[in-house]
Amino acid sequence: MPKMIEKKLFIVGAGPGDPELITVKAVNALIKSDFIFYPDVCGGKNKIAYDIVKNAVKFAGAPDFAEERLIPLEVEMKRSSGRNKNLYKENAVKIIEKLKEGSCSYVTLGDPMFYSTYWGLHNAIQEVLNSEGNGINISISIVNGVSSFHYSMGLIGEPYIIKNGSVLISVPVKKDLAEIENEIKFIAGKIFKPQVIVFMKAGGYVKDILNVFKESCGKELEAGRLKLYLIEKSILVNDFMKKKDLNFDYFSILIGVFV
């Protein structure tokens, strides 16, 4: 039996969008990588991960990456049309082929273990290796990044998450309103205050979530005992509830705090 070749794959969290929030460990992993893969969302219209990588090496004083080292991988976001399973497999094959030439990194926004595209890619890599072999053994190293959730709480600037408080993190995608209402009521019913509920990737669901808040917690909202915050594209949106159009970016975060 031929000896398996050991190859290194870094899964790098690039942080929430601010290039200064990528970690030193992440930059070192990128510099050591022969090839750097990054998610290409919406056909090149969203190149946040690419921009962070380019800026990070500048901050580190390292030479700029040659473009041939930076490889986009198409990923569907928003309400996926069902292509992602095939895309993840195609992307896994691309990474495995490049690993035969040298070490690689896959860059994901935020933290790779916290609601990121790495989940689908991880499974696809295992499936390809199990079915096709490829003669290599991949050693995966996770390089954590600042999650958008933690970054959002910093933008709010209030220390809402404290001892005896609870935090419920929810993704509303494909949830019905009854489930969202149960989550809100669960947090609202906690004795100690403040209590926090965080809706990740809330963009297209903001209107529905707000309606649930108003119907189930209207009195708390009017009395100021419930505070709502929206973060879009790493910016805290002021008076977002007054906007006529309540459709926001897919990655938007809606946070409710019972005080």
Is there a single domain that holds both residue 141 and residue 153? Answer: no
Q: Please write the tens of the pLDDT for every residue from 12-63.
A: 999 998 888 999 999 999 999 999 999 887 665 567 888 898 888 888 788 8
pLDDT of residue 85: 76
Residue 25 makes CB contacts below 8 A (sequence gap 6+) with 143
Helix (H), strand (E) at residue 186: helix 177-188
CA distance 128 to 195: 43
Number of domains in the chain: 2
CA distance 162 to 257: 12
Mode of pairing for the β-strands spanning 253-258 and 195-199:
antiparallel
Is there a single domain that holds both residue 122 and residue 206? Answer: no
pLDDT beneath 50, residues of the chain: 1
pLDDT of residue 224: 96
Q: Which of 146, 166, 183 is the last residue of a domain?
A: 146
Domain that holds residue 100: 5-146
Q: Which of 95, 116, 146 is the last residue of a domain?
A: 146
Q: Which of 116, 131, 146 is the last residue of a domain?
A: 146
Is there a single domain that holds both residue 211 and residue 118? Answer: no
- pTM for this predicted structure: 0.87
Is there a single domain that holds both residue 233 and residue 164? Answer: yes
Is there a single domain that holds both residue 140 and residue 174? Answer: no
Is there a single domain that holds both residue 115 and residue 193? Answer: no
Is there a single domain that holds both residue 153 and residue 90? Answer: no
- Whether omega for the bond prior to residue 194 falls within 30 degrees of 0, making it cis, is yes
Q: Provide the token pair at 213.
A: 């808040």
CATH code of 138's domain: 3.40.1010.10
Is there a single domain that holds both residue 28 and residue 102? Answer: yes
pLDDT of residue 7: 87
Is there a single domain that holds both residue 169 and residue 121? Answer: no
CATH code of 158's domain: 3.30.950.10
Is there a single domain that holds both residue 104 and residue 9? Answer: yes
CA distance 237 to 247: 13
Taking each continuous run of H as one helix and of E as one strand, the counts in the chain are 7, 10
Is there a single domain that holds both residue 69 and residue 182? Answer: no
